[in-house]
Amino acid sequence: MNTNRNRFLDILKGLAVLFITATHYDFTDWNRLDYFFPYWIDTAVPIFMLISGYVATLSYRKSQVETIEQAYEPSILVGKAVRYTIPFFIAYVVEIAYSVMAHGVQSFQGLGWLVHFVKGGNGPGAFYYPLLIQLILVFPLIYFLIQRLGFFGVVLSFLATYAMEIMKGVYQMPENTYCLLLFRYTFIIAVGVYLASERYKTHLVWQIGALVAGFVFIYGMVYRGWDVPFIDYWEQTSLLGCLYIAPIVGFGIRHCSNWHFPPLEFLGKASYYIFLTQKVYYIYGRKIYMKIPGERYDFLVTMVICITVGILFYLAVEPLNKKACQACKEFCRRHPIPDAWR
CA angle 72/77/82 to nearest 5° reads 175
pLDDT for 2: 46
The predicted structure's pLDDT at residue 3: 47
| Residue 189 and residue 55 in contact, taking contact as beta carbons nearer than 8 Å | no
As a whole number, mean pLDDT of residues 217-246 equals: 92
Residue ranges in 63-185 assigned as alpha helix (H): 68-71, 74-103, 112-118, 128-149, 151-170, 175-178
* Cβ-based neighbours of 160, under 8 Å, separated by 6 or more: 186, 187
Mean pLDDT across the stretch 88-108? Answer: 82
- Lowest-confidence segment of 84-93, 111-120, 324-333 by average pLDDT: 111-120
Q: What is the dihedral of CA 157, 160, 166, 167, to 10 degrees?
A: -130
**Which pLDDT does position 322 carry in this prediction?**
94
Nearest to 76 by CA among 65, 92, 86: 65
Range among 4-8, 323-327, 328-332 with highest mean pLDDT value: 323-327
Longest dimension (CA), the chain: 66
Judged against a pLDDT cut of 80, whether residue 292 lies above it is answered with: no
Classify 5 as helix, strand or coil.
coil
Question: pLDDT band for position 1 (50/70/90)?
Answer: very low
Three-state secondary structure call for residue 259? coil
d(CA 45, CA 205): 25
**How buried is residue 48: exposed, middle or buried, by Cβ count under 10 Å (0-12/13-18/19+)?**
buried
Which residue type does 72 have?
A: Y
**pLDDT reading at 304 higher than 80:** yes
Average model confidence (pLDDT) across the chain: 90
For the chain, how many helices (H) and strands (E)?
A: 15, 0
Looking at residues 322-337, what average pLDDT do you find? 88
Residue 313: count other Cβ atoms within 10 Å of its Cβ. 21
Coarse DSSP helix, strand, coil percentages of the chain, rounded to the nearest 5 percent: 75, 0, 25
> What average pLDDT score do residues 108-112 get?
67
Provide the whole-model pTM.
0.92
pLDDT digits (tens, 9 = 90+) for 232-266: 888 889 999 999 999 999 999 989 988 889 999 99
CA distance 321 to 300: 30
Residues whose CB is less than 8 angstroms from the CB of residue 231 and which lie 6 or more positions away in sequence, other chains included: 165, 221, 238, 239, 240
Distances (CA, A) of 325 to 52, 60, 77, 103, 321: 18, 17, 11, 35, 6
Is pLDDT of 139 > 50?
Answer: yes
Contact 2, 62 (CB under 8 A): no
Residue boundaries of the structural domains of the chain = 7-203+244-341
